[in-house]
A and B are shown apart, each in its own frame.
Chain A
Amino acid sequence: MNLRVVRSRRRQPAGARPPGDAGEAGGTPSAGASRTGQAAGQAGTFEAAWADERTLLVRKTLRCGQEVRYPGNVVVLGDVNAGARVVAGGDVIVVGALRGLAHAGAMDTPGAVVYAHRLQATQLRIGPTVARSPDRPGGAPDADRRSAAQGPEIARLRDGMVVIEPFPAPPGGGG
Chain B
Amino acid sequence: MDGPTAIVITSGKGGVGKTTLTANLGTGLALLGKRTVLVDADIGLRNLDVVLGLENRIVFDIVDVVDGFCRLKQALIKDKRFEGLHLLPAAQTKDKSAVSPEQMERLCKELKQEFDVVLIDSPAGIEQGFRNAVAGADAAVIVTTPDVAAVRDADRIIGLLEAEGLGEPRLVVNRVRTDLVRRGEMMDVDDVVDILAVDLLGFVPEDERVVIATNRGEPAIMRQDSPAAQAMRDISRRLAGEAVPLAETAPPGFWSRLRRVLGLGAG
Give me the interface of A with B, judged by CB distance under 8 Å. Answer: 26-27, 60-66, 78-79, 81-83, 97, 99, 140-143, 146
Contacts and interface: CB of A to CB of B under 8 A. Distances in A.
A146 B195 CA distance: 11
Nearest to A140: B184
A83 B195 CA distance: 12
B163 A27 contact: yes
Which secondary structure dominates where chain A touches chain B? Answer: loop
Interface of B: 148, 152-153, 155-156, 158-160, 162-163, 184-187, 191, 194-195, 197
- Find the residue from B155, B158, B163, B194 having the highest chain A CB count within 10 A: B155
A64 B153 contact: yes
8 cross-chain pairs, A with B, having the tightest CB-CB distances, nearest first: A63-B159, A64-B156, A64-B155, A65-B156, A63-B155, A142-B191, A142-B187, A81-B155
A43 B46 CA distance: 53
A83 B187 contact: no
Nearest to B153: A64
Given A81-B195, A99-B195, A141 B148 contact: yes
Which secondary structure dominates where chain B touches chain A? Answer: helix
10 contacts: A63-B158, A63-B162, A65-B160, A78-B197, A79-B197, A83-B155, A97-B194, A142-B195, A143-B184, A143-B187
Contacts of B148: 141-142
Contacts of B197: 61, 78-79
B81 to A, nearest CB: 40
A152 B131 CA distance: 39
